[in-house]
């Protein structure tokens, strides 16, 4: 597709909960809005087997909630575009360019809802055995390990929740954590401690992942004693934090030292007409409920910006 003169009011980059909420609110405000997503809608939410802390919904699987959000945004007029965003040009100008693998789109405002992705452990063998026993998504890959012995690395909500989920398939799940206490919510900890299939290895890091074509064992190290050893397993699921998906616009002066987008409480960045929402934003909590709230706020103020933009052109 060549560059088009079709000017959008809002272009949302990213189809997770923040992006889809922004699309819903922008569409309901009768703005001309497009959402660009490189893959399936939902972001990290779509890889979560069970969401229990979204108000008004007792529990729902992540893929179902993601598809419902997608349909809502689309029903209210959000144009869905599949493609990779490669660059943003003229971000400081009134008409901004979003350059994608499918062409260039022009817009008055941009909402960056690019989210975050699982942080790698950085251990030898991790990249080589990814997809061969190394995974970052229990919902995606858990069923491949029926009656196998698995390891989960991490101690936060995702590690514990996904460890619990993996017990549906695995014969045994071992959670390896570098500290002696979990960081997960108390309700998740209680469930894990009561689950007979789950055991814990404390104060331990994974130094290497080894196997002949597939994961067979881990090299581990006790952080207090320095003692090393091997731990056999059939797969390892890694949950050691997230990294923001902000690389393609790292040249814009809107990121903090960790690569997250800095905004005010209106989701505005320091660039006029550029907003951000969700897990890729500098924030204290990264949950579906906060991402959707961010998206709603960003769309609301993007709409105000468009009104001022049009008044200025009159």
pLDDT tens, position by position, 185-221: 999 999 999 999 999 999 999 999 999 999 999 999 9
Of 50 and 147, more confident: 147
Given the residues 75, 127, 140, 180, the one annotated as active site: 140
Can you give the chain as a three-state secondary structure string? CCCCCCEEEEEEECCCHHHHHHHHHHHHCCCCEEEEECCCCCHHHHHCCCECCCCCCCCECHHHHHHHHHHHHHHCCCEEEECCEEEEECCCCCCEEEEECCEEEEEEEEEECCCEEECCCCCCCCCCCECCCEECCHHHHHHHHCCCEEEEECCCHHHHHHHHHHCCCCCEEEEECCCCCCCCCHHHHHHHHHCCCEEEECCEEEEEEECCCCCCEEEEEECCCCCEEEEECCEEEECCCEEECCHHHCCCCCECCCCCECCCCCCECCCCCEEECCCCECCCCCCHHHHHHHHHHHHHHHHHHHHHHHHHHC
Write out pLDDT tens, residues 58-78: 888 888 889 999 999 999 999
Band (pLDDT 50/70/90 cuts) for residue 2 is very low
176 pLDDT exceeds 80?
A: yes
> Average pLDDT for residues 151-165, to the nearest whole number?
95
| 141 catalytic residue (yes or no) | yes
> Average pLDDT for residues 12-40, to the nearest whole number?
95
Burial (CB count <10 Å: 0-12, 13-18, 19+), residue 207: middle
Write out pLDDT tens, residues 213-266: 999 999 999 999 999 999 999 999 999 988 999 999 999 999 999 999 999 999
Given the residues 9, 141, 157, 279, the one annotated as active site: 141
Torsion of CA 144, 181, 60, 40, to 10 degrees: -60
| 233 catalytic residue (yes or no) | no
Burial (CB count <10 Å: 0-12, 13-18, 19+), residue 30: exposed
| 140 catalytic residue (yes or no) | yes
d(CA 265, CA 243): 22
> Average pLDDT for residues 149-159, to the nearest whole number?
96
- What is the reported pTM? 0.83
4 pLDDT exceeds 50?
A: no
């Amino acid at each position: 597709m060549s560059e088009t003169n079709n000017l959008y009011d809002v272009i949302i980059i990213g189809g997770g909960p923040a992006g889809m909420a922004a699309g819903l609110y922008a569409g309901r405000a009768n703005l001309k809005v497009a959402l660009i997503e490189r893959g399936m809608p939902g972001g990290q939410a779509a890889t979560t087997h069970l969401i229990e802390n979204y108000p008004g919904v007792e529990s729902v699987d992540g893929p179902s909630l993601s598809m419902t959000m997608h349909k809502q945004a689309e029903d209210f007029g959000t144009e869905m575009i599949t493609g990779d965003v490669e660059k943003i040009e003229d971000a400081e100008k009134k008409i901004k360019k979003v350059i994608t693998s499918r062409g260039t789109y022009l817009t008055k405002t941009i909402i960056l809802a690019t989210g975050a992705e699982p942080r790698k452990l950085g251990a030898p063998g991790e990249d080589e055995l990814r997809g061969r026993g190394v995974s970052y998504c229990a919902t995606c890959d858990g069923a491949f390990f029926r009656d196998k012995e698995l390891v989960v690395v991490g101690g936060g909500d995702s590690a514990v929740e996904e460890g619990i989920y993996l017990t549906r398939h695995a014969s045994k799940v071992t959670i390896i954590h570098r500290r002696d206490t979990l960081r997960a919510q108390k309700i998740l900890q209680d469930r894990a401690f009561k689950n007979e299939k789950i055991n814990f290895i404390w104060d331990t890091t994974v130094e290497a992942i080894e196997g002949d074509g597939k994961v067979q064992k881990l090299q581990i190290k006790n952080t207090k004693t320095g003692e090393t050893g091997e731990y056999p397993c059939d797969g390892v699921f890694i949950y050691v934090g997230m990294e923001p998906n902000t690389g393609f616009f790292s040249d814009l002066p809107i990121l903090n030292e960790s690569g997250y987008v800095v905004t005010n409480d209106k989701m505005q960045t320091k660039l006029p007409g550029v907003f951000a929402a969700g897990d890729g934003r500098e924030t204290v909590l990264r949950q579906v409920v906060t991402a959707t709230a961010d998206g709603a706020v960003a769309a609301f103020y993007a709409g105000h910006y468009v009104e001022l933009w049009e008044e200025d052109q009159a």
